[in-house]
Amino acid sequence: MVDFNRFVLSNGLKVLVHEDFTNPMAVVNVLYDVGARDEDPEKTGFAHLFEHLMFGGSINVPSYDEPLQRVGGENNAFTSNDITNYYITLPAANLETAFWLESDRMLSLAFSQKSLEVQKNVVSEEFKQRYLNQPYGDVWLKLRPLAYKEHPYRWATIGKELSHIEEATIGDVKGFFAKHYNPSNAILVVGGSVYTSQVKELAEKWFGSIPRGEKPIRNLPKEPVQLEARREVVTADVPLNAIYMAFHMPGRQDNGYYECDLISDILSRGNASRLYMSLVKEQKLFSEISAYITSSSDPGLFVIEGKLTEGIDPQLAEAAIWNEIDILKNELIPERELTKVKNKVESTMVFAEMSLLDKAMNLAFFELMGNAAELNNETQKYLLVTQQDLQNVANKVFTKQNSSTLLYLAN
């Protein structure tokens, strides 16, 4: 059970406080309700570029890292297709330093051509190294547009193409900041050895005077129902042939989401899972295989990916995956197998509740979805799923016409 208090500043900033006096640390987590799905299709990669720009100095603080290091703090951030999240961990005694730094970034970045060029180069290098020059690195640059035709999930967080980052102007980034980085579009969570009254005081002092800004209205195109199987074959300089299969699945708050998550665990969580036992250990068709979900806010993807054992015919390997899917669709998952997977989910949740940072991030995310208190019901939602529920969802999701298959062949 994660307890918290909530209040809202007059400028619209939501603040959640989790008091936990079991250790002397504190976490300050700022979630901005902006991700890659909010970008202009002709100017992608901006949410991720901003994650970098936010560390390049703000209006009154030329260096972000130095003051934080002086008080024993650490920071990091991540961007997804749905959100951008920044966090600081530091001794609770030095909490105000985090408020000072985060509020100054929210107030305004120190936009300069030099800073922009530096970060554009960093992101461009990341794009080249991780996505273009690495075996299988461009899989998501190919799989997303294969699976999505209308929804902005059709590009990865790094962006659709390198030129979008290379050609970003100071005007572009100022506009993106003004639209998305403001109090009404953010959630601040403070956790650890802190009192709500103290956090309230600091929040008013440091964030209270920042102009509210407009909360952007999100009006994204819905992805049409996929009516036929899609395929793409890529030949590249990779060590092994690989298969990537993506199926459209429910979004984070839709019926069927928890079932899909449990199915991904049944298929590939650990060495006793179905895909590993059958396709790696027994039939030796794959050297590695996994199933996972994108956990997207809007309808996401259920992905099965595997590297084939050398000399195995890709057609045979693909047919073997479909065979495992058919078993899921036609036979109820044994109660014992389902209980085992549910127990693993439950222990993961309990473990996350021991981490101050995980608690803060989860509170922010559940507040964004509507109510942070729902975090405490999350485990129960998995435990309530029945064998029949799993079979019903499997029959809905795992159809040929709902599949997008990328064959990645070694040349």
Contact assessment for residue 317 and residue 271, using Cβ atoms and an 8 Å cutoff: no
Question: What is the rounded distance in angstroms from the CA atom of residue 37 to the CA atom of residue 56?
Answer: 24
> 376: closest CA among 358, 349, 397?
349
Residue owning tokens 């408020």 = 99
Neighbours of 348 (CB within 10 A): 14
The answer to whether residue 51 is catalytic is yes
C-alpha torsion 352→358→363→368, nearest 10: -120
Return all residues near 185 (Cβ < 8 A) that are at least 6 apart: 32, 33, 34, 213, 215, 216
Backbone dihedral angles phi then psi of residue 242, each to the nearest 5 degrees: -140, 155
How do beta strands 25-32 and 186-192 pair?
Answer: antiparallel
Distance CA 32, CA 77 (A): 11
Catalytic residue among 19, 42, 51, 310: 51
Q: Give me the DSSP letters along 265-314.
A: HHHHSSTTSHHIIIIIIIS--EEEEEEEE---SSSEEEEEEEEEPTT--H
Residue type, 34: V
Catalytic positions are: 51
